[in-house]
Amino acid sequence: MDELLYGVADGVATITFNRPDKLNALTPEILSALFRRVAEAGADPAVKVIVLTGAGRGFCAGLDLGIIGSGAGGRVELDPGIAPQWGDDIGPDLARFYSGGWNALITCRKPTIAAVNGPAFGWGFILALHCDIRFAARSALFNATFARIGVPGEKGSAWLLSRLVGTARAADLLYTARRFDGADAERLGIVNAVLDDEALMPHVAEYAANVATYSAPRAMAAMKAQIWTAIDDDYTKAFAYADHEQEAATGTEDFREAFASYREKRAPVFKGK
């Protein structure tokens, strides 16, 4: 059985962890496949949005316990042979802050959505944090397990949590390694919304399809770059980047298509050009 499923439909690439009997625990092979699939989706003009979720009753329970202590850590990098659909010419240069591998979900210039359908522990929690948007089922559970196994916040988790919830709440979640549910995640600002379990995937599907249909891909790529560098840029630099991208966007096919579709009262057909 393929431990990582991948499919594209109507502009949405869905990547699904597929070890339901292990709550989708990670192996280096699964991580490598995940990062490769994200790179492929980023390079595919047919893909406008990427959704990450898990099969069965779990999102991702973190690193497989059989791997911990074995030295097989998950130090995998993006395949350099996969060229992104857009290079580093859109928006602020993300390469200043991020590299490949674990940062694939950030450096990919397409919107990424985590549909957290169950436990998201350890590295699974971190992968969800690397996505731009997160939706959770009411029964979802989260935790940063690291303090209880004697390691610091791994894979950028302290940095990501501090950006999302502030330093005091990040410290609470990291120091205690406590579990918290979907409702707590929404209250803390970690997820955009919590939904009844049976409503999660239909909601994510509708949300992703709406973005894929009505939002211009090149504009979203520029916005993603702006969002992920916003805290590290000063206002003047951010304003200058925005002006530069606005001027560039007015010469694109997508810009012309947006106004044409509005005049003709139809859905736009964006091509990312």
- Yes or no: domain 4-211 corresponds to CATH 3.90.226.10: yes
Report pLDDT for 202. 97
Give pLDDT tens digits along the chain (273 positions). 599 999 999 999 999 999 999 999 999 889 989 999 999 999 999 999 999 999 999 999 988 877 665 555 555 555 556 777 766 666 666 766 676 678 889 988 899 999 999 999 999 999 999 999 999 999 999 999 888 878 877 888 888 999 899 999 999 999 999 999 999 999 999 999 999 999 999 999 999 999 999 999 989 998 998 888 887 777 787 777 777 777 787 788 888 888 788 788 888 888 878
Domain ranges, ordered by start, for the chain: 4-211, 216-263
Report pLDDT for 141. 96
pTM over 0.85? The answer is yes
Query: How is residue 136 written in tokens?
Result: 């959770």
Report pLDDT for 113. 98
| Angular region, 91: left φ>0, alpha ψ -120 to 50, beta rest | left
Report pLDDT for 256. 86
Query: How is residue 252 written in tokens?
Result: 């694109």
**Distance from C-alpha of 63 to C-alpha of 140, rounded to nearest angstrom:** 18
SS3 content of the chain, % helix, strand, coil (to 5): 45, 15, 40
3-state secondary structure at position 134: strand
Report pLDDT for 48. 95
